[in-house]
Structure 1
Amino acid sequence: MATTVPTFSMIEGQFNAYLREIVYATMTTVDAKGRPRARVLIAVWEQLDQGPQGWLATYKTPVKAAHLANNPHATFSYWSPRQNAVAIDTVTEWVHDIETKQYVWQLYERSSPTGVGYDLGNFWHGGPADPKLHVLRLNPWRIQVIRGRDLQSRIWRAPDAD
């Protein structure tokens, strides 16, 4: 049985603990015919005044770009063998300005000690200005956390989610 919570702060601790435990997410998008495609990656998340927000440093592959151009919604799924899970439904947006890329670069660096970020320089040798580095802003509209030992499920929805 799922319980809806009115504020993200009510699941934030569990959300952060599970993401630190799991680290890798499966990102799923859909093509123009509604067929899903999944890939494994590491996104970073932060808490802002208006709620949680995620960032994804990524390559802008033709498949990912086409899927998101057609439908900007993506789901990020985290799962551990202990059956702890997090599902994050988002609306994505490509962000191109260098200031945001620098911010996201630093956010990944700051997140590294907690096990969620990593050194982006391992993939993008040119730093935040590397032309192969692309950034997706991840705007969650629904987040579900599930505790494996008893399958307790709690769901947060953004105030503007329909």
Structure 2
Amino acid sequence: MTTEMMSFTAIQDEFNAYIGDIVYATMTTVDKKGRPRARVLIPVWEIVGGRPVGWLATYKTPVKAAHLAGNPHTAFSYWTPRQNAVSIDTVAEWIDDLEIKRHVWDLYRETSPAGAGYDLGRFWREGPADSGLHVLRLEPWRVQVIRGTDLRSRIWKAEDAT
């Protein structure tokens, strides 16, 4: 049974618990021919104004950059063998602001509210100002949380989602 939630807070605890447990997400983008491409990454999430906002510290590879330039819509999928799952549909945007990179760096270090971070210094040794560090802001428009014990599905959609 699927229930639509008016407020993200109704699913926030399960969202955080499942992401903290699963950690790795499959991120899917599409190329200019509409073909999907998936890769496994670790985004971090925070709640801003009652809504989830995601951040992805990543390398700006030619494929990822081209896909997002052509279509900024991305999908993130978390799954565990216990059948707990989170699906997040977002719009992604590259952010180059150093203060935001510092904020994202700290979220990863603090493991984010969902508990899925790590030490970014393992990959970007010069800290938030490292020229190889790129950040994607992930603006969710739809989040689905599925509890594996009874396959209960709850969906939140942003008010401005179309």
Tell me which amino acid in the other structure corresponds to 1:69: A
Tell me which amino acid in the other structure corresponds to 2:142: R
Q: TM-score, normalised by structure 1?
A: 0.97
Mapped partners of 2:97, 2:26: distance in 1: 26
| Aligned match of 2:32 | 32
Distance 1:120 1:47, change over 3 A: same
Q: What is the aligned-residue identity percentage?
A: 69
Number of aligned residues: 162
Q: The residue matched to 1:38 in structure 2 has which SS?
A: strand
Distance 1:6 1:89, change over 3 A: same
Tell me which amino acid in the other structure corresponds to 2:31: D
Give the deviation of 1:2 after TM superposition. Answer: 1.1
Tell me which amino acid in the other structure corresponds to 2:18: Y
Unaligned runs of 5+ in 2: none
| Aligned match of 2:108 | 108
Mapped partners of 2:145, 2:114: distance in 1: 19
1:87 aligns with 2:87: yes
Structure 1 segments of 4+ aligned residues over 3 angstroms from their partners: 112-115
The equivalences for 1:1-162 within 5 A come to 1-111=1-111, 115-162=115-162
Mapped partners of 1:140, 1:79: distance in 2: 18
RMSD: 1.2
Q: The residue matched to 1:111 in structure 2 has which SS?
A: coil
Mapped partners of 1:34, 1:22: distance in 2: 28
Q: Which moved more, 1:130-139 or 1:45-54?
A: 45-54
Give the deviation of 1:137 after TM superposition. Answer: 0.2
Tell me which amino acid in the other structure corresponds to 2:2: A
Distance 1:114 1:49, change over 3 A: closer
Give the deviation of 1:20 after TM superposition. Answer: 0.8
Q: Could you tell me whether the CA contact under 8 Å between 2:90 and 2:139 is conserved in 1?
A: yes
Give the deviation of 1:152 after TM superposition. Answer: 0.5
Give the deviation of 1:149 after TM superposition. Answer: 1.4
Mapped partners of 1:137, 1:120: distance in 2: 16
Q: TM-score, normalised by structure 2?
A: 0.97
Mapped partners of 2:38, 2:118: distance in 1: 21
